[in-house]
Amino acid sequence: MHGPAPALDHAATRPIRHRRDIDGLRALAILPVLLFHAHVPGFSGGYVGVDIFFVISGYLITGIVAREVDEGRFSLFHFYERRFRRIIPALTLMMVAVLGLAAWLYLPGDLEGVPRSALAASLFASNLWFFTDTGYFAGGADVKPLLHTWSLAVEEQYYIGFPVALMLLARFAPRWRLATVGAAAAASLTLCALMARDGSGFAFYLLPTRAWELFAGALLALGAAPAVKMRWLAETLSWAGIAAITAAVICYDSTTFFPGAAAMLPVAGAAVLIHGAPGTSAGRLLSCRPMVAVGLLSYSLYLWHWPLIVFTEYATDAPLAGSTRIMVIVASFIAAWLSWRYVERPFRDPGRVSRQRVFQGTAAAVLILSALSGALMQAGGWPSRFSPEVLALAAGRNDISPDRKRCHDSFMRGAAPCVLGADVPPDAMLWGDSHGVEMAHALAGVARAEGRSLIERTTSSCPPVLGYQAKDPRCAAANRAAFAALRADPHIRRVYLAAFWANGDFDDRAFVDRLGATVAAIRATGRQVTIIGPVPPQPFDVPRRLAHLARAGRLDQARGVERATVEARTGHLRTLFARWRTRGVRVIDPMATLCRERYCAILRDGRPLYFDSHHLSMAGARAVIAGGS
């Protein structure tokens, strides 16, 4: 049906023998991912392992598909049979286990998102789900045990269209195959670079900005790179590939704009190793028995390590560390070996599991996962598992300003800022980041009682500091707009500044100097300045921690971070604020209200004082404002 491609392309897709060095490269991909997720120091960029997997997949799958297309024997039916054998059995087992563990362990508000993500993952659409599942109350990565399935969704979406594209090219434009794939890769890379600073997650989660990494491997399989015939050059290139991957793993971190141009380093490293490692000392290193063994386990290890980490951290209310970290890493390898030995291997053997059973099993898996997910979604978090006290404490995550959705990030949405309090022209402004939202509502309650009102100007991750450089360039624009509006409104007589001062950014002297300059600029306009000082950040999600303690009958042990720890962390700011106080700047100190004893309070009158680990709930904000008045 499909004629062979030109001789050059046909030669480029000669049969790909099993390569132990690629198994080793898989190990070089999965180990950084595992160690990064387990918070092992030195692996801050370990997330690039996923990009290496994409390159490997693009190379191996394209080599198989292109060869079969060239030989006129490619079948989509057989292609998806192979994909189902490879992906579905181990994935199904992991997802059933995740649903069961989440139903047993998770509090109602945290459970609700798990079956939705499971349903999306069973349809290979979890990247789309996690891209849209954003916001303060969608839950962070620490309550998403299926978050890692986004990469599987990207791959499977890619393989819906790519084999068909190769078939069409072989039929209608065989001489343009390499150029077409190259152009698609360039377009995807360009879009990825343009979207890297978008901040929405588009570049991270979605296929259009990730496809170039798979295309990089595909281009190798299609013969885009000439053979490396000189031994010294092959040695140099292969070790350069390992160096590139190592540099990304060690040097990248959460502040790196990724993917985008930064992703080119690990992708290039993986591509160079695939192309040039055979026969080199680097290739022999990747082909050694331990690396190959880990590489064979890499798929199951990827599936199991993340849920084990998430559930452990959830149950202990603490990030992995010490012996717990070691135990989870060991448990990940044990689960991976069991999955590989008793699930992956049998299902990949046509002699043990027939083609018919593969398709029947895949259909059954989708139906079972859909049914389980639907049942849990219908249960709405299944609150009947817990006592009223546990539910009341867990509901502290919802004790937020009723105006948060309407008023927060108004500048980013192009909306007018909110006026809160009495129905009179505002005489005050709260200017801050997300820490100011509940403070604004608490201050508005006081203002309303006094017949006054205030304007709320709060922007996520954007402290009220002129010249502050955030990842989102709109932050600086929001601050400039707030200051310009302040200067233009003669009715505003007082300004409250609120931010996550204890997040580490203000350990930098330059940030402190900019804050000082901002305070001076506001005072120069004749306004009174009130700084709402650092809120003590807690090492756990407070409502969840309190609910866990109540569930275990140990609520009397509820306590927050030590006061001394917070004082050491924010001492330079507190000294600065004290100095400003002598110059007429008013300071409301949350620590004076929350940290009267050795440990800072997280519970008062049965109500959580935080709605997560560092944002005060309305109960906490009212307590701080009342204590500072």
Report pLDDT digits (tens) over 4-61: 333 333 334 444 578 899 999 999 999 999 999 999 999 999 999 999 999 999 999 9
Residue with structure tokens 């129905």?
423
Give, in order, the Cα–Cα distances in Å from 460 to each of 204, 477, 594: 20, 13, 24
Query: Which residue has 């160079």 as its token pair?
Result: 272
User: Whole-angstrom Cα distance, residue 56 to residue 16?
Assistant: 13
The whole-number pLDDT of residue 16 equals 54
> Are 534 and 573 in contact, with CB atoms under 8 Å apart?
yes
3-state secondary structure of 587: strand
Q: What pLDDT does 629 receive?
A: 58
How far is CA 268 from its chain centroid? Answer: 23
| Parallel, antiparallel or unpaired: strands 494-498 and 453-458 | unpaired
pLDDT digits (tens, 9 = 90+) for 80-121: 999 999 999 999 999 999 999 999 999 999 999 999 999 999
pLDDT at position 514 over 90: no
pLDDT in tens, 449-475: 999 999 999 998 899 999 887 767 788
Evaluate whether 622 touches 551 at the Cβ level (below 8 Å). Answer: no
pLDDT at residue 485, as a whole number: 93
Q: Hey, is 89 helix, strand or coil?
A: helix
Calculate the alpha carbon distances from 527 to 42, 110, 462, 483 in Å: 47, 44, 21, 12
Those residues with Cβ within 8 angstroms of residue 164's Cβ, 6 or more apart along the chain or in another chain: 76
SS3 assignment, position 549: helix
Q: Using alpha carbons, list the distances in angstroms from residue 121 to 277, 302, 303, 381, 560.
A: 35, 15, 12, 19, 37
What is the model's pLDDT at position 214?
96
**Cβ contacts of residue 544 below 8 Å, gap of 6+?**
107, 110, 314, 317, 394, 397
**CA 342/CA 420 separation, integer angstroms:** 61
Following DSSP, what letter does each residue of 361-422 receive, concatenated? Answer: HHHHHHHHHHHHHHHHHHHTT-GGGS-HHHHHHHGGGG-S-TTHHHHTTHHHHTPPPEEEES
The backbone torsions φ and ψ at residue 235, rounded to the nearest 5 degrees and listed phi first, read: -60, -45
Per-residue pLDDT at 137 exceeds 80: no
pLDDT at 139: 55
End-to-end CA distance of the chain: 82
| Backbone dihedral region for residue 531 (phi beyond 0: left; psi -120 to 50: alpha; all else: beta) | beta
Q: CA gyration radius for the chain?
A: 28
Cβ atoms < 10 Å from Cβ of 337: 16
Mean pLDDT, rounded, for 522-544: 93
In the chain, ranges of CATH 3.40.50.1110 domains:
394-628
Q: 397 pLDDT exceeds 70?
A: yes
Q: Give the Cα separation of 273 and 451 in Å (integer).
A: 71
Burial of 415 (0-12, 13-18, 19+ CB in 10 A): exposed
CA separation for the pair 307, 328 (Å, rounded):
10
Mean pLDDT of the chain: 90
Rounded distance, CA 71 to CA 582, Å? 84
The secondary structure of residue 613, as a DSSP letter, is S
What's residue 285's pLDDT? 95
Tens digits of per-residue pLDDT, 377-389?
A: 999 899 999 999 9
In this structure, what are the phi and psi dihedrals at residue 443, rounded to the nearest 5 degrees?
Answer: -65, -35
Tokens of 385: 């598992």
- Predicted confidence at residue 324, as pLDDT, reads 95
Could you report the per-residue pLDDT of 534-562, keeping only the tens digit for each?
Answer: 999 999 999 999 999 999 999 999 999 99
Tell me what pLDDT residue 5 has.
33
Q: Residue 588 phi/psi, 5° resolution?
A: -100, 115
Architecture of the CATH domain 394-628: 3-Layer(aba) Sandwich (3.40)
pLDDT score at 582: 85
Read off the amino acid at residue 505.
Answer: D
Q: What is the pLDDT of residue 518?
A: 92
Whether 369 shows a pLDDT value over 80: the answer reads: yes
The pLDDT-based confidence of 134 (bands split at 50, 70, 90) is: low
Torsion over CA of 193, 198, 200 and 201, rounded to 10 degrees? 20
Taking Cα atoms as reference points, which of 58, 59, 56, 63 lies closest to residue 27?
56
- Residue 360: CB atoms within 10 A of its CB come to 11
Kindly indicate the confidence band of residue 619, based on its pLDDT and cuts at 50, 70 and 90: very high
Tokens of 30: 């999965």
Query: CB under 8 Å to 616, separation ≥6 — which residues?
Result: 435, 438, 439, 535, 590, 609, 610, 624
Q: Is the pLDDT of residue 355 over 70?
A: yes
pLDDT at 575: 81
Asked whether the bond before 259 is cis by omega within 30 degrees of 0, the reply is yes
Share of the chain above pLDDT 90, in %: 76
Please spell the DSSP secondary structure of 415-462, one letter per residue.
PPPEEEESSS---EEEEESTTHHHHHHHHHHHHHHTT-EEEEEE-TT-
In the chain, the percentage of residues whose pLDDT exceeds 70 is 96
Least confident of 519-523, 557-561, 583-587: 583-587
Whole-angstrom distance, CA of residue 491 vs CA of residue 114: 49
